[in-house]
Amino acid sequence: MDDQIATRKATLDPATAPVVLAVSETPPTRTEALHIHTTASNEFWDVTDVVRAVAKRSKVTHGQVTVYTPHTTTTIVINESETGFLNDFRRTIGSLVPEDTYYEHDDHSVRTENLQEDEFINGHAHVRQLLTGQPSVTVPIVDGEVLLGQWQRVLFAELDQARERRLFVHAQGS
């Protein structure tokens, strides 16, 4: 029977190693950048193992680790990495904030701010980000362990379209 059970997984794991940006021994701090090439909208990447590895490499015993994305149409959340839940999220956010409706952000006849030549039509992704999360999360480190609950995972979510993205993991403390 077990041979017939297919494992479902709604998140992707990073394929590349993070790049070290800064390291200090006193007090212990470490910042690393992770480069991700997303492949679709509403895509989740489980970066929990990367976060734990950066915290371990930092040698922080007591402090915190912050995960930050510098993109306005991505988010960092802590939640369960369970396929059914993430598929429920995708359906719900799609019905709450559909792609095929009017967004003033996408109307270049009225929008005058922060325009660039190769501007994406992505008003829906900006609204989704504001409703669903934030650009960063911070988790305590105690006795060298990142304090996440049993089912909690650190998830990077792409809410726009496939493209190159970055996120930063910064551990600091004593």
- Per-residue pLDDT band for 5 (boundaries 50, 70, 90) equals low
Better pLDDT: 20 or 9: 20
Please tell me the distance from the alpha carbon of residue 157 to that of residue 76, in angstroms, as a whole number.
6
Given this model, what pLDDT does residue 120 score?
A: 83
Q: What is the pLDDT of residues 91-120, one digit of tens each?
A: 999 999 999 999 989 888 888 788 777 778
Angle, in degrees to the nearest 10, between helices 83-96 and 123-132: 120
Residue 23 lies in a domain: no
Under the phi-then-psi rule, with left for phi > 0, alpha for psi from -120 to 50, and beta for the rest, what region is 86? Answer: alpha
Q: What is the pLDDT of residues 79-90, one digit of tens each?
A: 999 999 999 999
| CATH number of the CATH domain containing 160 | 2.60.120.460
The structure's pTM equals 0.90
Q: What is the mean pLDDT of residues 154-170?
A: 96
- Per-residue pLDDT band for 2 (boundaries 50, 70, 90) equals low
Given this model, what pLDDT does residue 21 score?
A: 97
Q: What is the pLDDT of residues 55-75, one digit of tens each?
A: 999 999 999 999 999 999 999
Query: What range defines the domain where residue 57 resides?
Result: 45-102+123-174
Q: Is 97 helix (H, G, I), strand (E, B) or coil?
A: coil
* Average pLDDT of the residues of the chain: 92
Q: Is the pLDDT of residue 170 over 90?
A: yes
Residue 114 lies in a domain: no
Total of domains in the chain: 1
**Cβ neighbours around 26 below 10 Å, total:** 6
Q: What is the mean pLDDT of residues 135-152?
A: 97
Q: Is the pLDDT of residue 32 over 80?
A: yes
Residue 7 lies in a domain: no
**In Å, how far are 1, 96, 143 from 89, measured between CA atoms?**
30, 10, 34
Residue 136 lies in a domain: yes
For the chain, give the percent of residues with pLDDT over 90. Answer: 80
Residue 131 lies in a domain: yes
Please tell me the distance from the alpha carbon of residue 94 to that of residue 83, in angstroms, as a whole number.
16
Given this model, what pLDDT does residue 108 score?
A: 83
Given this model, what pLDDT does residue 126 score?
A: 92
CA 170 to chain centre: 14
Q: Does the CA dihedral 45-48-51-54 come out positive or negative?
A: negative
Bridge-based pairing state of the strands 164-173 and 19-24:
unpaired
Nearby residues of 124 by Cβ (< 8 Å), 6 or more positions away = 97, 98, 99, 101, 103
Instruction: Tell me which DSSP letter residue 6 carries.
Output: P
